[in-house]
Structure formats: structure tokens, C-alpha cells
Amino acid sequence: MSAQPRVTISRVEAWFKARQVDYEIAEDGTLVAALEGCEVFILDSDSEFLVVGSTWHSEFAAVDPALMAYVDEHNSTMYAPRVMLSSFDDGAVCLQADMTAFTGEGMSDVQLQSFLNSSFTTLLSFYETAADDLSAFVVSTEED
């Protein structure tokens, strides 16, 4: 079997361009895209892991035990995405989720496209469900 091409942000950019999705490349090389409901960031971690991370646009006032239970339940029953609560300097709390692929052996174009398609579908679906499940806890949304 021949070696697969190395996964790079340039190859990820090609996927975004083919789908006509607006994005930026941050100073640290991370690809960032603002989507409806969340911001997605993709980083190539030393050519070993490709991380598709995201931050939901809705915020919570504080970490509530019910929010923690929701995250714990999701992470213990669902394969993906991995979900966590994060807090900002101003005390607001947000929901983040990510998916990671091992890329140390490279990936074919089809493998990379499949991982990115799956990641976006999974993340957006998760936030859609969270919007319904957690609406009582939301204090602000970036679109507000």
C-alpha cells in the first residue's frame, strides 16, 4: 500500500473552497469559519492530529449542575462530538465541541473529505439539538 498524502491546512482549505464556505486563516495557522450558530476552527496538530473544534454562539450565565450533567450524559453515551463547557474572562460560559482524526499516516482526499463532512454534520446537528435541550439556560446568543 502506498503512503497517503500528509494532511495540511492547505488541503482543508481546498475542501472549504469547493463548498464556497467563507473562512480565514489565523496568525497561528488555524482555519476559522463562522457558521450559523457556531464558529468552527480547524488545526493541524504537528501533522499527527486534525482537530475540528467549535464554539456555540449561545452563552450561559454560569456553570449550572444541569449543564454539567447534560455534557456528562452526552459524552458518556455518544461517540461524537466530544463536548465541554468553557468560561470566558467575563464569567460567561459557552459550549464547545470537537472531533479529532489521527493523521500521522496521512489521508487520501476521500478520507479527508469524509472526515470533514462527518465532522461538520455531527457538530451542527449537536448544536441544533443543544439549542432545543438547553434553551432555558441560554442568556445570550451572538446573533442577538
pLDDT tens readout for residues 48-99: 999 999 999 999 988 889 999 999 999 999 999 999 999 887 778 999 999 9
Reported pTM: 0.91
Ramachandran class of 91: left when φ > 0, alpha when ψ lies in -120 to 50, beta otherwise? left
pLDDT tens readout for residues 2-57: 789 999 999 999 999 999 999 999 999 999 999 989 999 999 877 799 999 999 99
Residues with Cβ within 8 Å of residue 131, at least 6 apart in sequence: 37, 58, 138
Using CA atoms, how far apart are residues 138 and 110, in angstroms rounded to an integer? Answer: 38
